[in-house]
Structure 1
């Protein structure tokens, strides 16, 4: 936490100097950014994440083979990441504007399964749906939105912490929504966005609730993975990376380094997204 605060202070100083010199202000770590859509309504809340370096993968041993080898990654520039997972309220607006069918707020094969929309994370969205949503945000705001790379996602989710979870080595109780996290919603349904504490970067629900789509194609290990924070695209495997675990995941799968994957046309109650805006 101390390192984050120091980063805030330094960037605040740089912003003041830049402003005095008539230069465009530098983004301040932890600042909440919210662009306006064309109709004047606010888009998703974003948090400015600093540039920096980290070790990616199963740092503390254990983990699955796909979390290895542990390797150093440098994120070369700040970016803004969704403060929360994209909610139904945000995604429904996109569907209504573009004529898309609204995703179900429960299990698609059970007509009486309605968990609520509004502040709950959107689910039952494919990778293609997620990409379409980021493109719509880009058109609406004039900024560049996209899905985060897997490296950007893990860097932000860790919040500068190298333990299994951003809050420590043990899953504890009522820190997240998973199968065994001790919350009201465990293994039943999603929790409203922001129901648990934020990580040191100010991000909510990076562990549990719903898996989140990333840009990257799936690779079975980190052999040959990029070290500059960019998305690892291409390869024979057409599946896409998912991160963060869900309300139905065991605690080991909501660790900061845990990985998931799925077909880009997959649509599940366990699966949603978080958006990134380039700065």
Structure 2
């Protein structure tokens, strides 16, 4: 009887040991299977990580100074990043160059000729957003289309406008309220920049075009204007330290202009560019960003109110000028300006309701990276070799 009990007990022990053995074997199998699954899952995750689409890399801002080739590379890089053309045309066939965000030294050096207090001190400014700036100043054709579409009325009694042909011929600077933008007192065709327009007229044009195309058009702030004008240069002009050393590079006062219309005829450049007054937009060489007439032809209205001491306390990022004032900023030189009044750092101020045959404007088109920019057309690539002008123009004018 005892032997039988011992035998039964041994059987139970063996079964128990056998069960433990089977259970351990199954556990090991489960662990191995889980290990293999995790191994292959890890490989799959690594493969997915390697093959993931790269997030778009934000191009670097344009830090002045930079060369012409670098300026073009900045424009191209930001165009690819934003999926917009570096040069576009709007519905009026106005051409716009993409200006990248960047950092530059704003203002005039103390050693520049005819420097003013309002142009100092030089200070570093950063622009955080790209924008489109019109390659040309607004032409007579563009402004005439605006007036036609809106029946816009300019009150000639509001301020003086234009000069009579008789006064021009006699060399007298006498403004006549009977000569608004369409009768400026000298010959212009549709390709010339519009003049005798106030800051209000320029803003009305921008509002009309914004509504027409469902985009935001406006005048540039002067920091945007100067950054685009300099285009990476840190010299007096974007052409270097002269506008005429190798030939006339802008339409400013030279030996063609009527001596009675400028104050310092002795300082006029020793050239004849063939234009006593305005010239067709885009006649002279463009800068590194592809902009024309930034140092000549007409002075250009900007958005900002003017403050003589603004540079001493202006923001370092995206300055917008003072919030109030009595006059607006004008930038750039004009057909009647001596060279030293055409400097990159030159700034003027005029009442926003004033008109003058030396003043016009250039427009900016805003870009929103978060939303679609809207329909556009690619414009032809800008010819960036300044020699085209000298070879084709100077040679023709030799006697």
Structure 2 length as normaliser, TM-score?
Answer: 0.61
Residue 159 of structure 1 pairs with residue 224 of structure 2: no
For 2:48, the equivalent position in structure 1 comes to none
For 1:44 and 1:106, locate their aligned partners in 2 and report how far apart those are by CA, in whole Å: 26
Aligned length: 260
- Corresponding residue SS for 1:140: helix
Residue 270 of structure 1 pairs with residue 354 of structure 2: no
Residue 142 of structure 1 pairs with residue 214 of structure 2: yes
1:5 to 72, 78, 90: 72
Gaps of 5+ in 1: 19-24, 37-41
Alignment of 1:150-229 (within 5 A): 150-172=222-244, 173-179=247-253, 180-181=268-269, 182-185=271-274, 188-221=276-309, 222-229=311-318
Residues 80/33 of structure 1: CA separation in 2 closer, same or farther (3 Å cut): same
The CA deviation at 1:34 is 1.6
Alignment of 1:11-30 (within 5 A): 11=78, 15=80, 25-27=82-84
For 1:140 and 1:262, locate their aligned partners in 2 and report how far apart those are by CA, in whole Å: 29
The CA deviation at 1:233 is 3.2
The CA deviation at 1:26 is 3.3
Q: Is the 8 A contact 1:87 1:117 kept in 2?
A: no
Gaps of 5+ in 2: 1-67, 165-175, 254-267, 368-399
For 1:85, the equivalent position in structure 2 comes to 137
For 1:33, the equivalent position in structure 2 comes to 88
For 1:233 and 1:134, locate their aligned partners in 2 and report how far apart those are by CA, in whole Å: 21
Q: Deviations over 1:185-237 (max 9, x none)?
A: 56x310110110000000000001110000000111312123223321324x3
The CA deviation at 1:145 is 0.5
For 2:14, the equivalent position in structure 1 comes to none
The CA deviation at 1:33 is 1.4
Residues 102/88 of structure 1: CA separation in 2 closer, same or farther (3 Å cut): farther
Residues 150/244 of structure 1: CA separation in 2 closer, same or farther (3 Å cut): same
Higher relative contact order (CA 8 A, sep 6+): 1
For 2:146 and 2:93, locate their aligned partners in 1 and report how far apart those are by CA, in whole Å: 10
The CA deviation at 1:250 is 1.3
For 1:21, the equivalent position in structure 2 comes to none
Structure 1 length as normaliser, TM-score?
Answer: 0.86
The CA deviation at 1:273 is 0.2
RMSD: 2.3
2:342 to 254, 259, 267: 254
Q: Is the 8 A contact 2:110 2:120 kept in 1?
A: no
- Corresponding residue SS for 1:55: strand
